Structures are given as C-alpha cells and as structure tokens.
Amino acid sequence: MTSRTDPARGGDAAENPWVLVAGGFHRDGGMDRLNHALARQLLRSGCRVHLVCHRAHADLYHGGASVHIVPTPANSFLLGEFLLARRARQVARSVVARFPLARVIVNGGNCPWPDINWVHCVHRAWRCCDEGAPGWFKLKNRASRWLARRDELCALRRAKIVIANSKRTRRDLLEIPGIRPDSVHVVYPGADPGHCPPNPDRRAAVRARLSQGENRLLVLFVGALGQDFNKGFDVLFSAWQRLCARPQWDADLAVAGGGRALELWRGRVVQSRLDHRIRLLGFVDRIPEVLAAADLLVSPVRYEAYGLNVHEAICCGVPAMVTRTAGVAERYPAELQPLLIEDPEDVDALVAKLLRWRMARDYWREKIVPFSEQLRSYTLDDMAKRMVEVCTEESRVDSAAAQRR
C-alpha cells in the first residue's frame, strides 16, 4: 500500500498540499526542467500539488496535479509575469486558508509569498549588457530590470527559506539587505538521465544531419541571441573571426539559440564571409542532439547564476569552456581549471584558449570523463529529493523554535 505521508510536514499529504509557482513545468527548457522534476517528485511522494504556470507537461496533469494555467497576452513577458503573480497569490491564499500547513514555493521575484523561494538567478547581480542596442531596447531593458529587481527584493525579504542553485548565487543573495545567512541553502541542479555521452553511431548520424565533415571539428554555443549580450556571443564571434583568418583553424561554429537579434547576426555572419564557418541554427528544443555532434562548448557569459548549458554539455561528454564566475564553474575539479575563462571581455585570451584546446582536444575529451560521470550520478530526482529534505529540516527547526517561544 502506497503511503501518502507528506515528507515536509509529517502529516497526511492530502491535508498539506504544495503550491509551486513558475513560468513552466516541462522538459523543453533548462529551469523549466528543474521545476518539472520537483513537481513530479512531490506527486510521486503522494503529495497534493498545485501548479501555477504558463505551461505544464502532460504527465503532471496525468499524475494528479491541479494545474492553473496563466496566459501571456501578446506574448508579453512583463504582462505574463504580472498575471502569474496575481494568479499565484489567489491560489496560495485559497490553499493556505483551507490547509494552514501547506507549502508554497516561488521562483525569485515571481510572487512575494512568505515561505520558500527557489532562486535560479539574482537580478541584483545581473547588469545590463546592451551596448550598441537600439535606444528603445535600452529603455525597455532597464525598465524591466528595475521591475525585476524590485519584485525580487520584495519576495526574497519575505521568504522563510531560500534555495540557491550555486554557492555563487548564495553569495549574491547575501549581498541583499535583510537576507539571513542561515535561511539560504545551496541545492545544485541535477542531471537529466537523457543527457549522456552518445555512442559512435548516434554521433555520426547527428553530424551527418548537420552536414558536418568527418574531419572537421565542431564548437557549439548555446544561448539566446538577443539585444542584450550577456551570453557573450559577441565576444565569441570576434574570436571566431580571428581564428578563421588562420589557415590551420579547422573548426566550425554552430549556434543553438533564437532571439530578436538572430537575423541581425545572420547578416553579420554573411557580411563577414563566415557563413561557411558559422551556422546559426535558431531555437533548438533538443540540445542533447546537437551536443552529440559537438567537440567543445564555449560559454563566455558575463553573468551566470549556474549554467545549465555547460552542465548538459559535460554530462554528454563534451568539454566546456565557461567564465570562472559562473555558478557551474565552482564544481570544476582542479584538473579542469584551464578550461575556465578568466575575463569574458578578453577576445585575445579566448582565441589563445581555443587554440590550446585544439592542440590537445583528445586530452580534454578524455579528461572530462570523470567529471561527466560525477555530474550524471546526481540526477534531477536526487535534486528534487534534496529540495524537499531542506524544506523538511527547516520546518522542523522553525517548529522547535516556535515551541520554545
């Protein structure tokens, strides 16, 4: 007989539901995949779960979740966020009124509810990188960042428990006035079991679909191509121009990511006569497929709370260069430190690092194997269980403190 004990409250799960608030609970996006894993774990544990979101995977409906879908009018992120927060407060109030011991988990500033806040990024630490963008975009970018920081501050100051996705994120959170150090816990993202090194046949098939020559290397960039250059593609593009001027450089670049600046970048690639060396793939919903063909991933990001693209690449057995300040970089073992990018603005240093990788690419692919196995050993389910454990431990501490008072 299956137990319906709520792991975070010690009571009957039907009496102590969970409310999860996030943009998405599905497998198609990085953060959405993490949210999906947590919801699935709670449902498997017999908990009653309410999801407030823009989109949820069908298996959560089938698993018994109560899904409250919030529209995004005119595909507007800002309008969608406003409606999400309003609907989340309505659902949370309703559930907590009936079940006072219900738990509510929000993401960052998406809803200022005084319970658990799972932080995927810290807007306060994320500066605008829109030099060269149109004036209208700069105004919109700064206005949306101001709103995000305001909402983030309001939500985090009210949270009883804060879950950070890296030590770097925890440090950024502790810079916010009013955040207690003992309330912030680190839970690293887990690995999707589907992200693993490809066998030779699969790798050959994917490379064939990409028309990638057997004797040519493929470097991959994964990230949105927007008017804000936080992901660092502008730096990689400049480095690639210099590398392709060298006759001996035999690697091609594939870019997986959509965005409003995609067509602008297509024009720049053609203008630079690099359309045979750089392929802009647009939005790709199956990143592991592209990773199966890659020899290296490069992420010269300016701000990254964690870096799921890097995490996924390593799980797939692909060496990854990433900026040292990214959250995922703190998990790199000593022998992989040379892959870290010290200054994401330094084009010359990136060129030199890529040239060194080319000279020893087989060495780095072999060197990444133990780290890949380590990351894959901690799954999405492990992460979700750890999330529940942290909430359980903190709830017990709070209950004990209340009894002492």
Place of tokens 């990511």: 257
Quote the distance between the C-alpha of residue 190 and its chain's center. Answer: 11
Residue 15's SS3 state is: helix
Task: With residue 256 as reference, give the H or E element that holds it.
Answer: strand 251-256
- How much is the pLDDT for 394? 61
pLDDT in tens, 363-404: 999 999 999 999 999 999 999 999 999 988 765 555 444 444
Residue with tokens 């006072």: 100
Percent of all residues in the chain with a pLDDT value above 90, rounded to a whole number: 75
The residue type of 169 is T
Q: Is the pLDDT of residue 8 over 50?
A: no
CB 319 within 8 A of CB 354: no
Domains and CATH numbers, the chain: 13-190+379-404 (3.40.50.2000), 200-376 (3.40.50.2000)
pLDDT tens-digit profile of 78-104?
788 999 999 999 999 999 999 999 999
Q: Cβ distance 21 to 32 under 8 Å?
A: no
pLDDT of residue 74: 81
Burial 128-160 (b: 16+ CB within 10 A, else e): ebbeebeeeebeebeeebeebbebbbebbeebe
- Whether 7 shows a pLDDT value over 50: the answer reads no
Mean pLDDT of 100-125: 95
Cβ–Cβ under 8 Å, residues 105 and 153: no
Span 274-296, mean pLDDT?
92
